[in-house]
Structure 1
Amino acid sequence: MTWIVDENGRRWVEPQARVKRKRGRGRFADVKVGDQLMCRVISRWDSPIRDDLAANDAGWQRHERDHGFQYAIVTDLWFDPVAGQDDPLKGEMVGIQILHQGRPRGGKRAHTIRGLASNKWQYADRDEIAHWEAVRAGVDAGDVIGIGRGRRDRKEPRLYRL
């Protein structure tokens, strides 16, 4: 309740209710089964500094290792009625499965669609499955060889090659 006093006199103004907008699904608003996602995997850990001079007050050293990108494929979409009973957007779920060399590996992981971005997932920058199919086709055709085989071939004499 608010009274406004101006040159026209004094009048009563009812407060307007603030319009609350529900948060949207953000970056993954149109996610569908078959989409490929990627996430950068970084390990961080602390270890004690091993130094004879600082034996009493060793301290800690911060380590970080970047493992590159992990790729996954969206396998399922469903609605969880328990999570979505108050807010329907919270109940929208997605199932992803990790890809290893272009093939699904391990079990499925469940995420909320909103939670994909907060867990640092993003749409894949390339088609991981097609990439590894092309690599396997190149290996079968003999156009692509592994690093270990190339190292061995460089050490051996080249009598059998053309």
Structure 2
Amino acid sequence: MAVKDRERFSTTTRLKLLGEQTAARVYRSQTRRQARRSRLTGRAALLALVVCSLVVALAYPMRQYVSQRAEIADLERQKRQAKERVERLRDLKARWQDDAYAEQQIRQRLHYVMPGETGYIVVDPGAGRQSRADQGRADRPWYSNIWDGVDRSDAAE
């Protein structure tokens, strides 16, 4: 027994026993960490898979939603512009139904005069810069100028 006691209490034996115990503790802690890491990695992978699935599942509907909202905004803008145009045309129609406005426009645009009135053409001070053809057109009635324009466009073809 003396040999056994010596071996049991020898420094070498104690260091060897201490090393084995330490190695066993390290091994157990590593396996626990690895097990925890494995579970964490599995959870993370599952979470990443769920998030990716949601992103893929919602990407197309979100794109459609955004494009439809843009289209709705564009149609509302067009509707607003159409309403404004309708209002302008209603105002213009109401003005044209007023005889005084119609008479004013006829006199201004077509150079009409009422029976008994004398029509005058005011010559522009810058008329000296006009060509002879332009001066000749100013002296003729408006319908002659229109007919000449039709003849010129027909000749151009």
> What's the TM-score, normalizing by structure 2?
0.24
Give the structure with the higher percent strand: 1
Give the structure with the higher percent helix: 2
Considering only CA atoms, is the larger Rg found in Structure 1 or Structure 2? 2
